[in-house]
Structure 1
C-alpha cells in the first residue's frame, strides 16, 4: 500500500514510517498541514494518517478540504485529542477512523489495513436506464424512446425499484416493503394494480416489452434477452 503520513512530531513520524515500511508499505511523510493537503490532492494514496494539531493547516480543516475536493482516500486521525466530542468532530469532518495517542503500532497497522480493504464508495446514480427506458431521479422524469411518460408518484417509485433490480425478480413482498413500506401483507391487490398501470404506460405503447411477470414469483424489468 501507499500511505500518506501527515505528522509534525519527528520522533512519532519516524517511528510510524519505519513500522509501515517494515510491514511492506510505502510511506510518504509530510510535516505541514498545507503541504499535506497538496500532497493528498495531487497524488493517489490507499490511506492517509493525519494528526489534528499541525502547522500550516490543522488536521480537521485538512480532511474537510479533502472531502470538499471529492478526494475519497480513507483518512485516519492519529492524535492526542481524544475527547468524545473531539472524536465525533473528526468523524463528521470526513475521517474514516480515529485513534488516540499513545497507541500501539499493531493496532494502528490493523486499522490501516482495515481501511484499505474497504470497497470504494460509489456515487449514487441519478439516471437509471434499461434499454430505451430512462428514469431521471433529479428531474423526476421518465422517457422511453425519447417520449416523455407521465407517472404518478407511487408509479415512479415502483419503476425506480424495478429498474434498480438489474433484471432480478422482485417478489410481491419485496415490492410492498420497498414501495409502500408495508412489512405485512395488506391482503389487497395494490401491487398488481400498480404493475398493470405501469405496464400500460411504459410497455403497451411500445414495440418491446420490458416489464415481465414471473408466474407465482414476482416481477422483473429487463431488456429483451
Structure 2
C-alpha cells in the first residue's frame, strides 16, 4: 500500500481514537434506525397473529359477541326455503348478538363477520354450475345466513338479543370435503363512510380464528303423527 493509503489509515485511526463512547453509541443508534427504516421498522414487522379460541367460547368481535359451536356438511337440509346446493353446504352454527351498541347492526356487516379457511371449492351466492371457482376460497361470502330455530333468513341484528344462527357456505362437489375448517371472525370499525359521511361499521379485519372438525349434517326427523 502506498503512502496515500497509509495517510488514510492514520487519519481513520486518529478519528476513531478521538471519539467518545457516547459518540459511538449515537452513531450506532443512527445506523440501526436507518436499517430498520429501510425495512419498514423492526417492530412494525412483528404483527401478532389473531388469537385462536376453542368452540363454545364467547368472543367479542366488534360490534358482535359470537360463540362458534360446530361445523357440519350436508346436501339435503330438509328445509324448503334453502335450495339444494351445487355440491354441498358447510354449515357454521353459532350464536351471535351485538355488544355495547344501542342501534341495530345491518345484515351487510353480519355477512362480513364469518369466513372459512381450509376448505377448497367454495363459491358465492350467485355462482352457477360451470362458472369459474374463486381462487381465494377464504374470501367467499356465505350463501345463506339463517336462524337455526326456523331457517328464516337473518336481517339486522338488534341490541340486547342473541340469535342462534347458521352460516351456509356452498362447496362444489368436485372439491374434497375437509376434515376440519377454521372459522375466521372479523371485527369492524365504527366510522364515517368515505362516500356519504354516514356513520357505520366498516373495514372488516380478521380478529379471531376457531378451528372446528367437520361432521355430517342430518335433518331432524319428521315428528311421529
TM-score for the superposition, normalised by structure 1:
0.25
Higher helix share: 1
Decide which structure has greater strand share.
2
TM-score, with length taken from structure 2: 0.25
